[in-house]
Amino acid sequence: KAGVTQTPRYLIKTRGQQVTLSCSPISGHRSVSWYQQTPGQGLQFLFEYFSETQRNKGNFPGRFSGRQFSNSRSEMNVSTLELGDSALYLCASSLRTGESFGANVLTFGAGSRLTVL
Amino acid sequence: GQQVMQIPQYQHVQEGEDFTTYCNSSTTLSNIQWYKQRPGGHPVFLIQLVKSGEVKKQKRLTFQFGEAKKNSSLHITATQTTDVGTYFCAGRDNTDKLIFGTGTRLQVFP
């Protein structure tokens, strides 16, 4: 079956602009998580959505937001871009069946590489 | 909040040598997962450990979960150039967020 699809793969923006990234999870996966990866900070958790609800949020400013649609596809938005937002943004999906979430494994997409000039 | 540290940050080995990365959490983990990210790629799931003291093997890779469920290790026997990449551990904190460790980048010289 198809993997996790992220679009766009690469994009360049300038400071102050906003950006929207899209993620289509594996069919049947209801949870989508977003991570920011930078060389210096590793993989930082942004947020997780399950059944269109944000279940968890990392320590990022309010400029970072996201949502999930009824088909489980997810988008994240970053407004008023700063140079420090340049990073690889990774989306991952998982089954997250039932209320016991701990056991589920993440399948990552290839990422969207954002460069802010 | 929970912190997950990995050591070493980098490791360069000669092909055929062994390699170990250690993962330490500031809090007890319900389970721990390991992922591998090849250069230019995305993290790929390797294994999950759930029980205290659990040991699992995948060919040349041996994964261990500490008795106190606060640390874990990944050991690779006789490294090959295909083992190159960054290895991350990941554990869920008390709010159920999956927190990734700082990662260990492995370089293998032929």
Q: Do B98 and A59 touch (CB under 8 A)?
A: no
For A2-22, the pLDDT digits (tens) are 899 999 999 999 999 999 999
Q: Give the one of A45, A105, A109 whose C-beta lies nearest to B42's C-beta.
A: A109
Which residue in A has a C-alpha nearest to residue B41's C-alpha? Answer: A110
Per-residue model confidence (pLDDT) at position A97: 63
Looking at residues A86-104, what average pLDDT do you find? Answer: 78
| CA–CA gap between residue A70 and residue A76 (Å, rounded) | 15
| pLDDT exceeds 60 at position B80 | yes
Round the average pLDDT of chain B to a whole number and report it.
94
Q: Do B92 and A101 touch (CB under 8 A)?
A: yes
| pLDDT exceeds 90 at position B30 | no
**Percent of chain B predicted with pLDDT > 70:** 98
Round the average pLDDT of chain A to a whole number and report it.
92
Per-residue model confidence (pLDDT) at position A46: 96
CA atoms within 13 A on the CB side of B102: 16
Per-residue model confidence (pLDDT) at position B105: 96
- Alpha-carbon torsion, ordered A44, A49, A55, A59, to 10 deg: 20
